[in-house]
Amino acid sequence: MIEYLKGELTDLQPAEAVIECHGVGYGVGITLNTFSALQGKEGTVKLYISESIREDAYQLWGFATKAEREIFLLLQTVSGIGAATARVILSALSTQELADIILSGNDKMLKRVKGIGPKAAQRIIVELQDKVTTLAYPQSEGKNTDFIVNNTTSNVVMEEASSALTMLGFSPAPVRKVVQKILSEEPEAPVERVIKLALKML
């Protein structure tokens, strides 16, 4: 089992990072919060890894913190929640936000996440309420969800956001329409903000 990858960050997209370790480049699926944590990093980075092994696929998922990886794994213990859905949840909400929602039983906030209906939201809360209390959430983790203002042009942001949302499982046509709408209202919005807003609208 791979516990973590530590190496050079050679490529970073909102939904995927490539880390080179001893001449081998590992493509790792990431959440939007981990993407934010990696932005601006140079040189060696470290991601905690979860492996998804199926007959037809082998996928690595990477996380900036152990807490995010642990709640990613906990989400998948809930019936009907797979790795892709868990990533969408952890792209729409930070680890701390999700833990607070589960502990407070706020199913309304969970239902705002694409793909999470009333029954799924209730299952997540009921099945994980006792488990998330055992997790440790570093205070610094909240910084991962801050929006990082940059000088990226709207066209580049549109392409990156659209690509990331498509990788998260959304259809290209509605994705592009929603992203265009967001950028028409907030032309200077960074890619992670566009994705977070789109996740609430798709």
Instruction: Give residue 88's pLDDT.
Output: 92
Specify whether 24 is located in the same domain as 86: no
> What CATH number has the domain bearing residue 166?
1.10.8.10
Same-domain check for residues 58 and 30: yes
Q: Would 127 be classed as within a structural domain?
A: yes
CA atoms within 13 A on the CB side of 177: 7
- Among 91, 97, 81, 96, CA closest to 113: 91
Of 47, 63, 79, the position where a domain reaches its end is 63
**CATH number for the domain harbouring residue 101:** 1.10.150.20
Lowest-pLDDT range of 3-12, 14-23, 131-140, 175-184: 131-140
At 7, the pLDDT band (50, 70, 90 cuts) reads: very high
138 pLDDT exceeds 80? no
Q: Which amino acid is at 99?
A: A
93 part of a folded domain = yes
Q: Look at residue 148 and tell me if it is in a domain.
A: no
The yes-or-no verdict on residue 137 having pLDDT over 60 is no
The per-residue pLDDT of the chain, averaged, comes to: 84
Of 63, 88, 104, which one is at a domain's C-terminal end?
63
User: Is 71 among the domain residues?
Assistant: yes
Same domain, 72 and 124: yes
Question: Is 84 among the domain residues?
Answer: yes
**Residue pLDDT, tens place only, 54-101:** 777 789 999 999 999 999 999 999 999 999 999 999 998 888 889 888
Residues 22-65 pLDDT 10s: 999 999 999 999 999 998 887 899 999 999 887 777 899 999 99
Judgement on whether residues 41 and 17 belong to the same structural domain of the protein = yes
* Same domain as 78, residue 99: yes
Which of 112, 143, 174 is the last residue in one of the domains?
A: 143
Give me the half-sphere count of Cα atoms (radius 13 Å) on the Cβ side of residue 182.
27
Q: Which two tokens stand for residue 49?
A: 């890894």
pLDDT of residue 16: 94
Report how many domains make up the chain: 3
For residue 33, give the CATH number of its domain: 2.40.50.140
What are the tokens at 170? 């959304």
Q: Are residues 74 and 132 in the same domain?
A: yes
pTM of the model: 0.70
Would the pLDDT of 152 be above 50? no
Sequential DSSP letters for the chain: ---EEEEEEEEEETTEEEEEETTEEEEEEE-HHHHHHHTT--SEEEEEEEEEE-SS-EEEEEESSHHHHHHHHHHTTSTT--HHHHHHHHHHS-HHHHHHHHHHT-HHHHHTSTT--HHHHHHHHHHHTTTGGG----GGGGGGGS-------HHHHHHHHHHHHHHTT--HHHHHHHHHHHHHH-TT--HHHHHHHHHHH-
Angle at 19 between CA 142 and CA 113, to 5 degrees: 40
Do residues 78 and 123 both lie within one domain? yes
Range with the poorest average pLDDT among 104-118, 126-140, 170-184 = 126-140
Its domain, for residue 25, covers 4-63
Residues 110 and 168 in one domain: no
For residue 136, pLDDT over 60 is answered with no
Q: Could you tell me the pLDDT band of residue 143, with boundaries at 50, 70 and 90? A: very low
Dihedral angle computed from the Cα positions of residues 105, 106, 112 and 113, in that order, rounded to the nearest 10 degrees: -40
Task: Answer with the residue of higher pLDDT: 144 or 62.
Answer: 62
Do residues 74 and 33 share a domain?
no
Whether the pLDDT of residue 149 is over 50: the answer is: no
Cβ contact 53:15 at 8 Å: no
For residue 149, tell me if it sits in a domain.
no
Residue 114 lies in a domain: yes
186, part of any domain: yes
